[in-house]
Amino acid sequence: MNFLRLAKRDDLPREKEWIIRIAAVLLSLVFAGLILIIFGLHPLEIFRTIIEGAVGSEMRIKQTIIKAVPLIITSLGILVAFRMKFWNIGGEGQIMMGAFAASYVALFLPEMPKALTLLAMAAAAMVGGGIWAFIPAIFKAKMGTNETIFTLMMNYVAIKFVTYLQYQAWMDPAAKGFPKIAPFPERALLPHVFGVHAGWIIAILCVSFVYFFMNYTKKGYEIAVVGESVETARYAGMNINRIIIISMIISGGLCGLAGMIQSAAVEKTLSVGISGGYGFTAIITAWLGRLNAIVVFFVCIIFAMLIQGGAYIQIALNVPSAVADVVQGIILFFVIGSEFFLQYRVLPGQRLQRSGKEAA
């Protein structure tokens, strides 16, 4: 590092910020294109097909929205925890437990009217996801237990638990030996609004709620302060343990709600695949959205397009949909890497500069 020197940027103009970001995306596409060429694929055709698959017809747009909904809600949950620098990577498990709680209401509670059933499912899901997040939170608050590993392990416990339900305890005898849980009754299915299940309305409500909560309420402010500096928060007399626990319950509750939507609208039952990796993808989207609810919303839509378009290239071009994962990974690496250039300027190193001074 002798010939290069770094300096922190103070204020980068908005336009320049976007120029760097867009340049990163373009570079990543060029790079991904080269890799696709190496493997004998036609990059432009693949990119075009991904976009076509995401927004090419009304049905595909609906599919993209369906993919975006759980991602948005989970990302919002992750966002609340990450603002506090609580590394909740347990989104998968919280989605699972939310879906589990909702399924319990749908399958085993006495019959209720549809509206009541759905409300009870949503409430149960938020409690289920919330409890799953509360467990690591209380240990973090009381004993300083490492939350990254704890939440990660909770994912696996949840996955194994739902596997157990699906393959054993709740297996539907009517499914002729297939390891499936009975489908939800009609009253437990989310209704459609404008041709897409009502989850999209819930997602938009959640975006507004989290945006308002984080930016305009005392609790939201406290979460941000704890994230910036625990010492400052303590000095200001905040109850840090309580803030950790409350924000994690909100975080897990939102993830649980995503689980309820997936079970009540997409899978129409409970299954091991219900979290679909959204808990992990949401970490990336929340981070790329700079932990701002509105930006996260748009990042999630772009991601959903990639997911949906990636599934489409398999059908359209007979190219494995894993290509989309590779392209997605490359774009992510470049965008994550470009953040550096938003924060630092790379200057010529000291030796060069000294000679410059001498010349002057």
Partner 1 sequence: MESFLATCIVAATPLIFATVGEIITEKAGVLNLGVEGMMLMGAVIGFMAGLTTESPYAALLGALAAGAGGALIFAVLTVTLRANQTVVGLTLTIFGTGFASFVGQPMLGSMVPETVGSFFAKRSIPLLGDIPFIGPVFFRQDIFVYIAYLIVVIAAVYLFKTRIGLNLRAVGESASSADASGINVEFYKYVHILLGGALCGLGGAYLALVRVPIWQADVVNGRGWIAVALVIFASWNPVKALFGAILFGGLSILGLRLQAMGFSVSQYLVDMIPYLATIVIVILSSHKKGRENQPPADLSNPYFREER
**Contacting positions for partner 1 (CB under 8 A):** 1, 6, 8, 39, 87, 89, 139, 143-146, 148-150, 152-154, 156-157, 160-161, 163-164, 167-168, 277, 280-281, 283-284, 287, 320, 322-326, 328-330, 332-333, 336-337, 339-340, 343-344
- Do 315 and 59 form a contact (C-beta atoms < 8 A)? no
- Least distance between partner 1 and beta carbon 160 (Å): 4
- Least distance between partner 1 and beta carbon 235 (Å): 22
- Least distance between partner 1 and beta carbon 58 (Å): 28
Q: Please, which residue, 119 or 149, has the CB nearer to partner 1?
A: 149
Q: Please, which residue, 152 or 198, has the CB nearer to partner 1?
A: 152
Q: Enumerate the H helices of 144-239 as residue ranges.
A: 147-164, 199-216, 218-228, 230-235
- Least distance between partner 1 and beta carbon 317 (Å): 13
Other CB atoms within 10 A of residue 37 CB: 11
Q: Please, which residue, 213 or 287, has the CB nearer to partner 1?
A: 287
Q: Please, which residue, 209 or 333, has the CB nearer to partner 1?
A: 333
CA atoms within 13 A on the CB side of 351: 4
Write b or e for each residue in 269-291: b if 16 or more Cβ atoms lie within 10 A of its Cβ, otherwise e.
bbbbebbbebbebbbbbbbbbeb
Let me know how long the chain is.
360
Q: Please, which residue, 253 or 310, has the CB nearer to partner 1?
A: 310
> Is residue 7 within a helix (H) or strand (E), and if so which, with residue range?
strand 4-8
- Least distance between partner 1 and beta carbon 14 (Å): 22
Q: Please, which residue, 54 or 331, has the CB nearer to partner 1?
A: 331
Cβ-Cβ contacts under 8 Å for 32 (sequence gap 6 or more): 43, 326, 327, 330, 331
Tell me the C-alpha distance between 106 and 323, whole Å. 38
Other CB atoms within 10 A of residue 328 CB: 20
Q: Please, which residue, 297 or 334, has the CB nearer to partner 1?
A: 334
- Do 217 and 83 form a contact (C-beta atoms < 8 A)? no
Q: Please, which residue, 162 or 293, has the CB nearer to partner 1?
A: 162
- Least distance between partner 1 and beta carbon 186 (Å): 30
- Least distance between partner 1 and beta carbon 334 (Å): 10
State both tokens at 99: 């879906």
Tell me the C-alpha distance between 96 and 283, whole Å. 16
> Is residue 344 within a helix (H) or strand (E), and if so which, with residue range?
strand 344-348
> Is residue 197 within a helix (H) or strand (E), and if so which, with residue range?
strand 196-197
- Least distance between partner 1 and beta carbon 342 (Å): 11
